[in-house]
Structure 1
Amino acid sequence: MRIFKRVILTVVVFLIVLATTAFMLENQQPVTLVFFGWSAPQLSQAVPVILALLLGMLIGPALAWLASLRKKRTHPARSI
């Protein structure tokens, strides 16, 4: 069962990498990102989107981890 899960995870990761690569190749128009008056240099359209994806992939698990810590702190394990 462990090997099956590993194969499925590998396939999913490969599909995500493949989709990200295709997205980057299809979206190469130059854009300028302006955020609160700060103007980024002109980059390919895919770069800000991929950066937002990566940032979300970091923030999501971090928030889930903090929520699990808070849950453990407020609901201690009961002994039987």
Structure 2
Amino acid sequence: MRGSKRFALVAVILFFALAVMTFVLENQQGVVLSFLGWSTPELPVSVIAALALVAGMLIGFAPGLIVGRKKTR
């Protein structure tokens, strides 16, 4: 049972890694983002999407960390 769970986990991780690699390779065209007079240098779409994903994960993690600390006290 333990071996099948490990195999399933590795299969899922490999699937997501393949999906991310495909996304990066398919989205190499450069774009410039502008927001409130601030603009980025020309970066590939995949880099901007990855940065947005990481920023969202950090923003979502912070409130959970704060709530978790309050519950333990």
State the TM-score, normalizing by the size of structure 1.
0.68
Pick the structure with greater CA Rg.
Answer: 1
Q: Distance in 1 between matches of 2:44 and 2:20?
A: 14
| Unaligned runs of at least 5 residues, structure 1 | 74-80
Q: Which residue does the alignment assign to 2:16? A: 16
Runs of 4+ in 1 over 6 A off after TM superposition: none
Structural RMSD (CA): 2.1
Q: Which residue does the alignment assign to 2:32? A: 32
Q: Counting helix residues as a fraction of each chain, which structure ranks higher? A: 2
Residue identity (%): 47
The alignment covers a number of residue pairs equal to 73
State the TM-score, normalizing by the size of structure 2.
0.73
Q: Which residue does the alignment assign to 1:61? A: 61
| Unaligned runs of at least 5 residues, structure 2 | none
